[in-house]
Chains A and B, each alone.
Chain A
Amino acid sequence: MNDNSNAPGIVDIPAGEQLQKLRRELEAARKESGALMNACALLNTTLDLQKLLEIILQQSAVLTSAEASSLALIDQKTDELCFEVVVGEKKDILKEIRLPRGTGIVGWVALKGEPLLIEDVSKDSRFYQKVDEKSQFKTTSILCVPLKTKDGTIGALEVLNKVEGEKFDSNDQSLLMALASQAAMAIENARLYKSVLEEKNKIVSIVNSMGDGIIVTNENFDIVLTNPAAESVFSDKTSSFDDVFKLKVIMLELSQLKSDTTFDLVLMKPENTILSNRMTMLRGAENEITGSIVSMRNITDIKHRENIRAQFTSMMNYKIADQIQRLRESLKNNEIQCDGVKCIAESIEEKVIKLIQFSEMESGPLRLDRSLGPVGPVIETAMEEVREKYIFKHIELKFSCESDVFNMEVEVDHDRIKTILCLLLNNCIRFVSADGCVEVIVRNVSEMLEITVKDNGIGIKEELLPKLLDKQYHLENVLNSSDASLSLAYIKHVVEAHGGSMKINSVIGKGTEIIITMPKFIH
């Protein structure tokens, strides 16, 4: 690639020699362009930034017959130059070196965006000695070119010391410039690829960590991404997730909608799951549909609770209506006696009480009617109310209370305390056999009033204990058995309205104790 104008004595050389010289030059130029093409082709073989930088360095040294080469990229955060990759013996040392922008030959080139060819670095003030000191490499000559993209200079590529004592020339500079422009583009592509990959990984992590099920499809509604929450709903023992036919049916339905939509899925059998879902269309630059994202929220528990409540009220109402109907027909036919009326009335009353308890629990914290008064008489009144039933079943009912505690003034809703104690005592009767014993113990524990109801009945299974204070459990029980009551849940509701708490201890075959603790006064 030598310029012919640089050969002024051309006329003095014999024609044969001149031809040979030109032939040599042509051969050299052909080799160089071949090497350049080869180098550029290699740059396209990888999107891995590190591998790419290594290729650039190797090829730049080969292309210019240099002893060593190095490449520095500008760190946008610190505005420093970092030697990303170094080829040669001292690569590990050089990799740690960071240069402020503008320092040294590399810094100058990166700052100015122009190439620099220095035949003797000792005569150039821009040369930064410390790099040689650290790397113990003796630099004599340098050829350094900028790495430029459309957005500006991203770094610089340099080759050091031409082999066999030769000097870098303008031909080397042109070759290195050509390589550098391809290299800069390849570096930019690799960086973009890396950031896209990182973004993708980030999105995948977010999607995977979500509690809602996520399904992403392409424009043909083929599934391209799912998260574990979605997979767990549709996983099937017999087929892989991709082959679940149900899901294909859903996707087919969605493909007919092709717009942002909310929809519900009730997977009745075998999953027993209810999903509330939203499909959002993904759109490209020209608003064309490129896919869809479906988010699925599992609302099975919420729906289940709603159902139980709805069933509970409708069941109770129908039962009451049914009994009133029977009563009316019997009265019309004169078939019924006083006892019968009383019996049906009690049954209706019991259901109405359940409904009242239920609605009180549903409507949030109770509005208490607190007043100041002694605790003992309230307990005694409640015990009197149930005593008849206890005598009938031959169960002993005891009251243990110190006299000062009996007269202790407490600021509570006395009517409700009496009601819940009656409920508790009525509850005990069902689980204590004849000749058993139920004891009510009232104690003063610092600022708290403690009421314990203790029986020597059949006891409660350990696994049932935590459920006994759960309203939902009792609601379901009432739906399944007319024997079940809401009492315990209601008692807890009243105790909590007083700012207190409730605890149940039980041993199978030995008995149960229910401990209610509540503050004596409002602060």
Chain B
Amino acid sequence: MEQSSVKRQIHELKVPATLKHIEQVKRFVVEIASQISFSPIEMFQIELVVDEAYANAADHGSECSRSKEVHVKCIVEGEKLIIIIKDFGGKPFNPDFFERIADKKTWGVGGRGIKIIKEIMDEVMYFFVTGQSTTLYMVKQKGTQDWENGETSSPVIKLPFALDDIPPIPT
């Protein structure tokens, strides 16, 4: 990575895979992200994404096992923030399914993290090695999304079907 012509600073944090460390991870990312003059909304979004992504890595990826680690890397490249979160659970899943179902799902809680990550970040990639690791690679570029001015699709999760799908109940 260091061979590239673009100058990059790489910061790394390794924590045990427990939800207890979520605040530490968020502080770590936010501190590095503050090197780029992200807007308050963007900073909030980054925090939200780290929240979701770390929870997935620690909870679903590593079953919150203290013996496993989660590695978080943050890279600043100009006005780009690259976040890489790697867990060692090695349990592949189908992010596309979760992203799509989040749109249509009206039951239960959770399962919308991936959709939120995809909405907010400019680049998202999952790297699965079954039985070994899952690496989530994300990029946020400053100023690419401007929800206040409606330049991008709304992050609000839409209802998947018309409300009248459920027949009215005559009383």
Q: Do A and B bind each other?
A: yes
Q: Which of A246, A249, A252, A482 contacts B162 (CB 8 A)?
A: A482
The answer to whether B92 and A264 touch across the interface, beta carbons within 8 angstroms, is yes
The answer to whether B165 and A482 touch across the interface, beta carbons within 8 angstroms, is yes
Q: Knowing A249-B137, A330-B169 touch, does A311 contact B122 (C-beta < 8 A)? A: no
The answer to whether A343 and B171 touch across the interface, beta carbons within 8 angstroms, is no
- A131 in the interface, Cβ–Cβ < 8 Å? no
The answer to whether B104 and A479 touch across the interface, beta carbons within 8 angstroms, is yes
- B123 in the interface, Cβ–Cβ < 8 Å? yes
Interface code A314-348, partner B: CB below 8 Å = 1, 0 otherwise? Answer: 11001100110010001000011101100110110
- B99 in the interface, Cβ–Cβ < 8 Å? yes
- Chain B: interface size category: 35 or more
The answer to whether A253 and B135 touch across the interface, beta carbons within 8 angstroms, is yes
Query: How many angstroms between the C-alpha atoms of A253 and B101 in the bound complex?
Result: 29
Residues of B within 8 A of A464 (CB): none
The answer to whether B130 and A268 touch across the interface, beta carbons within 8 angstroms, is no
Residues of A within 8 A of B169 (CB): 326, 330, 335-336, 340, 343-344
Residues of A within 8 A of B84 (CB): 249
Interface code B150-171, partner A: CB below 8 Å = 1, 0 otherwise? Answer: 0000000000111011111111
Closest chain B residue, CB of each to CB of A314 = B101
The answer to whether A266 and B128 touch across the interface, beta carbons within 8 angstroms, is yes
B22 → A minimal CB distance (Å): 22
The answer to whether A335 and B124 touch across the interface, beta carbons within 8 angstroms, is no
Residues of B within 8 A of A252 (CB): 1
Q: Knowing A250-B127, A269-B121 touch, does A481 contact B162 (C-beta < 8 A)? A: yes
Residues of B within 8 A of A268 (CB): 95-96, 99, 114, 118, 124-126
Query: How many angstroms between the C-alpha atoms of A222 and B169 in the bound complex?
Result: 65
- B149 in the interface, Cβ–Cβ < 8 Å? no
B138 → A minimal CB distance (Å): 9
Interface code B99-118, partner A: CB below 8 Å = 1, 0 otherwise? Answer: 11100101100000010001
**Chain B interface: which of A86-94, A155-163, A193-201, A302-310?**
A302-310
Query: How many angstroms between the C-alpha atoms of A442 and B31 in the bound complex?
Result: 75
Residues of B within 8 A of A343 (CB): 167-170
- A270 in the interface, Cβ–Cβ < 8 Å? yes
Q: Which of B96, B101, B135 contacts A303 (CB 8 A)?
A: B96
Closest chain B residue, CB of each to CB of A481 = B161
Q: Knowing A264-B128, A481-B162 touch, does A269 contact B123 (C-beta < 8 A)? A: yes
The answer to whether A263 and B122 touch across the interface, beta carbons within 8 angstroms, is no
Q: Which of B5, B118, B129, B135 contacts A269 (CB 8 A)?
A: B118
Q: Knowing A246-B137, A268-B99, A310-B97 touch, does A326 contact B126 (C-beta < 8 A)? A: no
A217 → B minimal CB distance (Å): 13
Closest chain A residue, CB of each to CB of B108 = A318
Q: Give the contacts of A91-106 with B (CB-CB under 8 A).
A: none
The answer to whether A263 and B128 touch across the interface, beta carbons within 8 angstroms, is yes
A215 → B minimal CB distance (Å): 14
Interface residues of A, dominant DSSP: helix
Closest chain B residue, CB of each to CB of A346 = B167
> By CB atoms of chain A within 10 A, which of B118, B130, B166, B169 has the most?
B169
Residues of B within 8 A of A257 (CB): 129, 132
Query: How many angstroms between the C-alpha atoms of A479 and B127 in the bound complex?
Result: 28
A502 → B minimal CB distance (Å): 28
The answer to whether A318 and B107 touch across the interface, beta carbons within 8 angstroms, is yes
Residues of A within 8 A of B135 (CB): 249, 253
B137 → A minimal CB distance (Å): 5
Residues of B within 8 A of A318 (CB): 106-107
Number of chain A residues close to chain B: CB under 8 A: 47
- B63 in the interface, Cβ–Cβ < 8 Å? no
> By CB atoms of chain A within 10 A, which of B84, B95, B104, B114 has the most?
B104
Query: How many angstroms between the C-alpha atoms of A264 and B95 in the bound complex?
Result: 12
The answer to whether B167 and A347 touch across the interface, beta carbons within 8 angstroms, is yes
The answer to whether A315 and B170 touch across the interface, beta carbons within 8 angstroms, is no
Query: How many angstroms between the C-alpha atoms of A151 and B4 in the bound complex?
Result: 48
Residues of A within 8 A of B118 (CB): 268-269
Q: Give the contacts of A256-295 with B (CB-CB under 8 A).
A: 257, 261-270, 274
Query: How many angstroms between the C-alpha atoms of A303 and B100 in the bound complex?
Result: 12
- B82 in the interface, Cβ–Cβ < 8 Å? yes
- A191 in the interface, Cβ–Cβ < 8 Å? no
The answer to whether A243 and B4 touch across the interface, beta carbons within 8 angstroms, is yes
Closest chain A residue, CB of each to CB of B137 = A249
- A480 in the interface, Cβ–Cβ < 8 Å? yes
Q: Which of B5, B92, B106, B170 contacts A339 (CB 8 A)?
A: B170
Query: How many angstroms between the C-alpha atoms of A267 and B95 in the bound complex?
Result: 10
Residues of B within 8 A of A303 (CB): 94, 96
B151 → A minimal CB distance (Å): 16
The answer to whether B95 and A266 touch across the interface, beta carbons within 8 angstroms, is yes
Closest chain A residue, CB of each to CB of B128 = A264
Q: Knowing A318-B107, A480-B160 touch, does A269 contact B166 (C-beta < 8 A)? A: no
A276 → B minimal CB distance (Å): 10
Q: Knowing A245-B82, A311-B97, A315-B104 touch, does A270 contact B123 (C-beta < 8 A)? A: yes
Closest chain A residue, CB of each to CB of B165 = A482
Closest chain B residue, CB of each to CB of A261 = B129
Q: Which of B6, B77, B96, B162 contacts A274 (CB 8 A)?
A: B96
A332 → B minimal CB distance (Å): 13
Residues of B within 8 A of A330 (CB): 169
- A248 in the interface, Cβ–Cβ < 8 Å? yes
Residues of A within 8 A of B162 (CB): 481-482
> By CB atoms of chain B within 10 A, which of A246, A268, A311 has the most?
A268
> By CB atoms of chain A within 10 A, which of B100, B127, B133, B165 has the most?
B127
Residues of B within 8 A of A243 (CB): 4-6
Residues of A within 8 A of B104 (CB): 311, 315, 479
Question: Which residues of B line the A interface, CB within 8 A?
Answer: 1, 3-6, 77, 82, 84, 92, 94-97, 99-101, 104, 106-107, 114, 118, 121-130, 132-133, 135, 137, 160-162, 164-171
26 contacts between A and B (CB under 8 A): A222-B3, A245-B1, A246-B137, A249-B1, A249-B127, A262-B129, A264-B92, A264-B127, A267-B124, A268-B96, A269-B121, A269-B122, A304-B96, A307-B100, A326-B169, A335-B171, A337-B171, A340-B171, A343-B167, A343-B170, A347-B166, A347-B167, A479-B160, A480-B160, A480-B161, A481-B162
Top 6 A-B residue pairs of the complex, sorted by shortest distance between their CB atoms = A482-B165, A268-B124, A266-B126, A264-B128, A269-B124, A263-B129
